[in-house]
Amino acid sequence: MLETSNLKGAYNGKRYIAHKAHTNRTTMQHYNIIGDVHGRDCWQQLVKDDCVNIFVGDYFDPYTTIPGDRLLQNFEAIVAFKRAHPETVLLYGNHDMHYMTNCVQSSRHDDAYADTYRQAFAAADGLFYGVAYAADDHTLVTHAGVTREWYERHFGPYRGESPQQVAEQINALWERDMLAFQFDMGNFYDFDGSSPTQSPVWIRPWTLQEHDLFDGTPYRQIFGHTQMEDITTIGNLICVDCLGTTPKSYTL
């Protein structure tokens, strides 16, 4: 694991509803968080039988050439794993959202398979938790992280709400207004997700580092979205988007 004081410096340079069916508590005591999949099948070696496996989203739109039918098979295998292991948590990312609604498209959007992927998400809708999950009393897991600016825009002043409370608020907003999570150009013509007003499926970690919702609290955030060479931690922020270079998961 890489520990750093600057998440932008750790970035490897490759820019690029369902929770009604579940509770947020489990009898299992450990959590295994798996970063952005993007069509990779290495997740099959990373899942653990004695943990709640949490996928942070982005199941399609690979960085390398992978045929669309293979991407679909991999996604269906993840869904099948969820069916076989109901405690598994599937979250959405920005590369999932752009197949689910009419929003700003992320890079590598697959026009040829867009309808197929949209149907796949619709068929699995009841198996997804949403966009946020409280892994324990002190840990919030999302695709990209939550800034104080985005949170307070939608929920008012942050008053020390727990990860569980924040996850419930965010998932309820996702269910009633998915477009609240779309890419936000902001007042600075943001082109890469660095504006602090970006949503939990878009914010970049170097901005999150400066605008962390939980700054000054005992809570931490675990997220993916921005490729790192290894699982990278700074303070109470942990980025797990490393499957493209160092296939590993993060276990609590």
**Cβ neighbours, 10 Å, residue 102:** 9
pLDDT in tens, 165-182: 999 999 999 999 999 999
pLDDT at 20: 39
> Tokens 């580092």, residue?
209
pLDDT at 219: 98
Q: What is the pTM of this model?
A: 0.89
Give the CA distances from residue 228 to residues 1, 55, 75, 76, 145, in Å, rounded to whole numbers and listed in that order: 11, 17, 23, 26, 15
- When the pLDDT of each residue in the chain is averaged and rounded to a whole number, the result is 88
Residues (pLDDT < 50) of the chain are 11-23
Interatomic CA distance for residues 179 and 177, integer angstroms: 5
pLDDT at 194: 86
pLDDT in tens, 206-238: 999 999 999 999 999 999 999 999 999 999 999
Q: Would you give the DSSP letter of residue 166?
A: H
In one-letter notation, the amino acid at residue 148 is R
> Closest Cα to residue 183, out of 107, 79, 77?
107
Strand order of the β-sheet with 132-136 is 2-3, 232-234, 237-239, 220-223, 139-142, 132-136
Which CATH fold topology does 2-251 show? Purple Acid Phosphatase; chain A, domain 2 (3.60.21)
